[in-house]
Each structure stands twice: as structure tokens, then as C-alpha cells.
Structure 1
Amino acid sequence: MTPLLLASVAAHGATTEAVFSWWSGLQLVGALIFVLAIFLVLVWVLKRFQPGVTGSSSAILRVVATLPLGTRERLLLVDLQGQQLLLGVSPAGISLLHVLEQPLTPPQRNLPTDFSGWLRQAMERRRKGTWHETPVCEPTAAARRGDSSAPPSAD
């Protein structure tokens, strides 16, 4: 505060109070946490009860396979109550490309769908000793030239 302002405050007998106290700071943080908690609960409720997103096989409409063609274009194979439709999706819209007479079944792969499953499968393969079934690295340039595999000396 400037000396002139201090003199006028002292002359009027007023005291200066703290503009920001610890209690008001705690109230602010508490309100922020409360608003964020409500937001997260609403997001969870909307995701949980959104129709058709459950991923169950009893859903009326489900995506069987997808093939990205570009950054914004893709092909979708959609199952609609046993009838499969091939759809083209682009920024311009969605187009029906073909209706399949015989439903296709995607090949079953033993790949895990999430990272934790992939990690568990990789750790089991490592424990069994089948981690490197195929060579993963190419021969080095020195081996291709016919040089010895010993590292160069520091002479």
C-alpha cells in the first residue's frame, strides 16, 4: 500500500483485512472437487446406460468388422438381426455398399483385446521360454561384411 493510502486508512480508523483467507481457499477447492465429482458421476451414468453400447451379442445392431481406408473414411460390416450390411463411412455421409446374402464370420484370433490381456499372454510366453520363436533382428552390418563378431578394441 502507498503511504498516502495508509495514512487515510489510519485517519479513518479502519483496519485492513486479508482479501484471501485460508477458509475461503478451502471452500473454493471443496467446491471445485464437488463439481468435478458430479461431472464424473454424470459421465459414468451416461456411458453405463447408453443404449446399444453394451457390446452384448443380443444387441439389435452391432459392428462385426471395420476397415479404415483413410483418415476419415472406413468400411463397416454391420450385423442387423442376422443380416449383414457393408457400409461406407466418409465425411460426406454413410452409404450402403452391399447386402450380404450369407453372413460372414470374422476369423477368431487369440489376440487379447486389451493391454492387460496382451501383457499377461506375453509374460506367460516368456515364462515358458517361447518368447523369441522367430528371429527379431537382422544381422548387423559387420556380420554381413564378414567381420568378426568381437567388438573393436580401443587401441
Structure 2
Amino acid sequence: MADASTFDKTYDVRSVKSMTVIHHFAALNRDVVMTGFASGSGFTVQLDAEEITNTPDFYNNPHYLESGGKTSTATFNVLVGSDDDIQFQAEHNNDKGKGDTFIYTDSATGERITITDAIIVTQVPGDMNSTESTKGWQVKGIVKRTFDGKETLDKAVD
């Protein structure tokens, strides 16, 4: 597993065909492929360093997440009014749902990032450095990063 200093990445999933993100809605038990990303920075992933992270959601309900390189903050930069933006708004308005899952895959490199038990923690204000009208949504959840199913170099050379 990469540490916090090395796992701070930006993914332009809109312009690269090998990269996709699937949003699994826990409340519906349904997968939806996200396609409404802003160009230039589809989303960013940054590991949290604290051992325990107390993260309030939109309704100020506490969520205690074991961190120390196990949880991440992901920022999704989506087009305003796109299906993805509307889905984030709906999730934000529903405080009764379970944490969702986001699955990023890059078929060219074999990289896969899975963020489970994800809760929406904030909507990023201001411009997202794009010529298009965009909105950033931040989620926090438990992250797992693999390359072709292998988490570390040790497991890759076994």
C-alpha cells in the first residue's frame, strides 16, 4: 500500500478511455458508470494520515473512520447538472443511506482503486480550474489500491 506522501493523484478519466469510475449505490444495490467528469481532473485521491478520523457528514453526524493510510479523501470534479452531479445532490439530501462504493479502474495499467463505506463530506466551493461549469464533491471512505489484483511488490513477486 502506498503511503500518504506517494498516493496523491489526479485522474483525468474523461479524456482517457482506459479509465473508468463506477459508483455503487448501497441503498439501491446498483452500479452506475460515472461519465459527467470535468476535463483535466476527473477526480483526485489523497490518503489521510491520522490514525482515527472523525468525519462529520452534511448533517453533522459523526463517522469514525480508521485511517493511517487506510482511508482517503476523493474529490470528484463533475459537470454541473450532469447525471453524476444530480446523483451526488440526491445522496447529499439523503442522510439515511449506507456508505457507497466507488471503483476506479485503469485497464491500460491494471490499477484499481476501491473506496468503500464512502460518505459525502463536503461540496467544494469555487471554480475547479476548468473552462466548463463544474462542481467538486468530496467523499471519504476506506481505500484499497491494487495493480492487477496485487497490493504490494512482495505479493507481486511471490
Give the structure-1-normalised TM-score: 0.22
Larger Rg, first or second structure (1 or 2): 1
Q: Greater strand percent: which structure? A: 2
Q: Which structure exhibits the higher relative contact order, with contacts defined as CA atoms closer than 8 Å and separated by 6 or more residues?
A: 2
